[in-house]
Homo-oligomer: A and B are copies of this chain.
Amino acid sequence: MATIYEVAALAGVSPATVSRVFNGNTVSPEKARAVREAAARLAFTPNKTARRLRKQSSEVVALLIPDIENPFFTALARGVEDKAQEKGFSVVLCNTDDDPGKELRYLEIAASEQMAGVILAPASDEADLGAIASLGRPVVAVDRTTPYPVDAVKVDNRAAGIAATTALFDAGHRKIACIAGPVGIEATEDRFLGWRQVMTARRAAGPENYLQHANFRADGGHAAMRRLLALPEPPDAVVTTNNLMGVGALQAIVEAGVDPAKFGLAVVGELPFMFLTPPAVVQVRLPARHLGTTAATMLLERIGGDAQPPRTIVLRAELA
């Protein structure tokens, strides 16, 4: 790998001038040409590490998501990538497994690698943004918010929960249960609150155990659904607060021999690759990719120096 010094020597200028050529500073046309020629001949690529050490920042942003195998987050990742790529930034994807420890470790890496910024789907309410925040690196929370004063992009989760529940109601269901995610995660709590709001407003609130908490994955949804079906008075419909739990619930329904076309299922999110889904299943489509592009846009604005007070952008989910 050729260095700036070799290029300078070949072009007959100082290293400083080479740097200036590549950073758009004032250099006379002849020298500029000489430098470019020398650089081309040596196949010179600036050493990013050296540049980063000097500039104390890089053109890399970190994206921390809880589950790389969840299509919602990969769609989000794609949105982030598209936007970042467009502006010449690279994206580093980190999988936190919803583990605050892993999350913290990745945040520290982001700091010590002097990444330009972080987009974070926080694993918990107490995501410790201290390290990067103190470095003045921008952070954007996505899908979930944090107590820290940072930009955020989220979905109107309560509305999504209301839409899902209302659709089941309109389809004639009354005994509507809810499979919610782990407690303490805002996105899922708001969706479950939407469900409760509808049930209360319509005076249809069922027994307490119509609310089941589960982990965010298919196995959690599956187990929760089995618990619901085993109740003395099982529900005739269910709302799940994310996509994978919906997958699990549907699986449990089918396994139990219940006709999924009759049993009401509403999912906040999309059942991935699931066109075989009985048409009766209600899906509230979340703008995952759009969430990603929006978050990336905000982050890049901040990186560009935008210093307005933190904003929260709320996107609407649409019934599909």
Binding site for B on A (CB under 8 A): 1, 45-50, 52-53, 68-69, 71, 74-75, 77-78, 81, 90, 92-95, 106, 108-109, 111-114, 135, 218, 247, 250-251, 254, 271-277
Docked Cα-Cα span, A211 to B122, in Å, equals: 47
A38 to chain B, nearest CB (A): 18
Provide the bound-state CA to CA distance between A251 and B106, in Å.
39
B contact residues around A273 at 8 Å (CB): 218, 247, 271-274
Let me know if A45 and B90 touch, CB within 8 A: no
Nearest B residue (CB) for A71: B69
A92 to B48, CA, bound (A): 16
How far is the CB of A94 from the nearest CB of chain B, in Å? Answer: 8
8 CB < 8 A contacts A-B: A1-B111, A69-B74, A77-B95, A81-B95, A254-B276, A272-B272, A274-B274, A274-B276
Instruction: Report chain B residues within 8 Å CB of A275.
Output: 251, 254
Q: Return chain B residues, CB-CB under 8 Å to A254.
A: 275-276
Q: What is the oligomeric copy number? A: 2
Chain B residues lying within 8 Å of A276, measured Cβ to Cβ, are 250-251, 254, 274, 276-277
Nearest-neighbor residue (CB-CB) of A275 within chain B: B251
Q: Nearest chain-B residue to A254 (Cβ)?
A: B276
Min CB–CB distance A124 → chain B (angstroms): 19
Interface residue from B52, B92, B277 paired with A92 (Cβ < 8 Å): B92
Q: Assess the A112–B48 pair: CB atoms within 8 A.
A: yes
> Do A75 and B81 touch across chains, with their CB atoms under 8 A apart?
no
10 nearest A-B residue pairs (beta carbon): A93-B93, A48-B112, A49-B53, A276-B276, A92-B92, A251-B275, A69-B74, A49-B52, A247-B273, A45-B112
Contacts A93-B93, A276-B250, A277-B276: A112 and B69 contacting too (C-beta < 8 A)? no
Contact between chains at B108 and A45 (CB < 8 Å): yes
Name the contact of A109 in the complex, choosing from B1, B50, B90, B218 (C-beta under 8 A).
Answer: B90
- Sample of 18 more A-B contacts, CB < 8 Å, known A53-B53, A276-B277: A1-B135, A45-B108, A45-B111, A48-B112, A48-B113, A49-B49, A68-B77, A69-B71, A78-B95, A81-B95, A90-B94, A93-B93, A218-B273, A250-B276, A251-B276, A271-B273, A272-B273, A274-B276
Distance in Å: Cβ of A88 to nearest Cβ of chain B: 10
Is B251 in contact with A113, judged by CB distance below 8 angstroms? no
Q: Which residue of B lies closest to A255 (CB)?
A: B275
Q: Are B90 and A93 in contact (CB under 8 A)?
A: no
Give the residue among A68, A78, A109, A250 with the most B Cβ atoms within 10 A: A68
